[in-house]
Structure 1
Amino acid sequence: MAWQPTHKQQTRERILSSAAKLFTTEGFDNVSIDQIMHNANLTRGAFYAHFTSKSALYSEAILASARNSVRSLPNGFSTCELTSAYLSEEHVKGLNRRCPLAFLVTDIGKQDEQIRNTYTRIFQGMINMLESSGLDREKALQQAVLMVGGVAIGRALNDDSLLAELLHSCKNLA
């Protein structure tokens, strides 16, 4: 039986989804190609039909993860709505989405130029989104750093009351 015309793209999307989930929770070095493919219910051999290397997959997976985070936003969102959703306990705990800007901030600096270029493009996209909501460039940069930093630090905390205080403080400043 022949594959459906969309089979290859669907398989690629399964791999990207699996990789995005595992990379944002475990980082690049703690995830193997075998783990990604097992999580996608595919064999390791299928990996090489779609990606040239783990690094290439990482770059595409963080881009896909960022796109999915943006798609989850309501149409016509305000800066306040974006900030509130981003600086939420649900986001910090990775319940609904895992923005690679905050979830991978310490991992990216150890990666190759291609991956760092992708991360830079995602960060620039966040700044552009904030600018398009009415902030000037400097305020958009400040807001982006506050949001990413708030979530990244929040992920490291093990005190729920301190986390709530941190998120509340970041929202107020934003």
Structure 2
Amino acid sequence: MAWQSTHKLKTKQKILSSAATLFTHNGFDKVSINDVMKHASLTRGAFYAHFKSKADLYQQALLSASSYASNSMQALATPKDLKSITQLYLSKGHRDTERAGCPLAFLITDINQQDEQVKQTYTEIFKRFITHIESYGLDQQQALKHASTMIGGMALSRALTDLEMSNKLLEACQTKEG
């Protein structure tokens, strides 16, 4: 029986989805190719039909996680305004997600340990994030400040062991400065 023409693409998407979830929760060093393939319910051999290396997978998984997080926020935000997006981004649900979270916050400390190509991908994702925030009427300076609060607030919230303080931090970052 011949494979469907979309089989290869679906397999790659399945691998990327698994990699995005595992990398955003565990970082590059704590995730092996075997971990990704097991999570995707595929054999290790299937990996090499789609990716040159673990670093190649990581770079593509960053883009996949970014798209997933962006699409999820846009789909859930009601109304479609910056306040709603900010509240969703800085929510307990985003912090505690089992799925891929925003790589800007979830991998903020991991990226510095990666090669220049991965850092460039992260930079491009950040630039798109800023452009998206600017689309709500903020100038670049305001968008940079707003994005820093969102990303930094989420990253710090995920790092804290005191859940009450973590929740307070998320709430504080949602509050617009007077």
Q: How far does the alpha carbon of each residue in 1:27-74 deviate from its partner, in whole angstroms, 9 at most, with x for none?
A: 001111011111111111111110011101100001011101111113
**CA-CA distance at 1:96 after TM superposition:** 5.8
1:28 corresponding residue in structure 2: 28
Checking the alignment, whether the CA contact within 8 Å between 2:20 and 2:100 is kept in structure 1 is: no
Instruction: Work out the number of aligned pairs and report it.
Output: 174
Task: Tell me the distance in 2 between the aligned counterparts of 1:86 and 1:95.
Answer: 15
Q: How far does the alpha carbon of each residue in 1:84-132 deviate from its partner, in whole angstroms, 9 at most, with x for none?
A: 1011111111246510000000000000011101100111111000001
1:102 correspondence with 2:100: no
- Match of 1:143, as an amino acid? H
Q: TM-score, normalised by structure 2?
A: 0.93
Checking the alignment, whether the CA contact within 8 Å between 1:19 and 1:58 is kept in structure 2 is: yes
1:154 correspondence with 2:157: yes
- Match of 1:148, as an amino acid? I
Task: Tell me the distance in 2 between the aligned counterparts of 1:121 and 1:37.
Answer: 27
State the SS of the aligned residue for 1:30.
coil
Match 2:166 to one of 160, 163, 166: 163
**CA-CA distance at 1:163 after TM superposition:** 1.5
1:83 correspondence with 2:55: no
**CA-CA distance at 1:158 after TM superposition:** 1.7
Checking the alignment, whether the CA contact within 8 Å between 1:15 and 1:40 is kept in structure 2 is: yes
Percent of aligned positions with the same letter in both sequences? 49
Task: Tell me the distance in 1 between the aligned counterparts of 2:98 and 2:55.
Answer: 26
Q: TM-score, normalised by structure 1?
A: 0.95
State the SS of the aligned residue for 1:116.
helix
2:145 corresponding residue in structure 1: 142
Task: Tell me the distance in 2 between the aligned counterparts of 1:61 and 1:97.
Answer: 9
Task: Tell me the distance in 1 between the aligned counterparts of 2:41 and 2:138.
Answer: 44
**CA-CA distance at 1:169 after TM superposition:** 1.1
Listed as ranges, the gaps of 5+ residues in structure 1 are none
- Match of 1:59, as an amino acid? Q
1:61 corresponding residue in structure 2: 61
Listed as ranges, the gaps of 5+ residues in structure 2 are none
Checking the alignment, whether the CA contact within 8 Å between 1:86 and 1:147 is kept in structure 2 is: yes
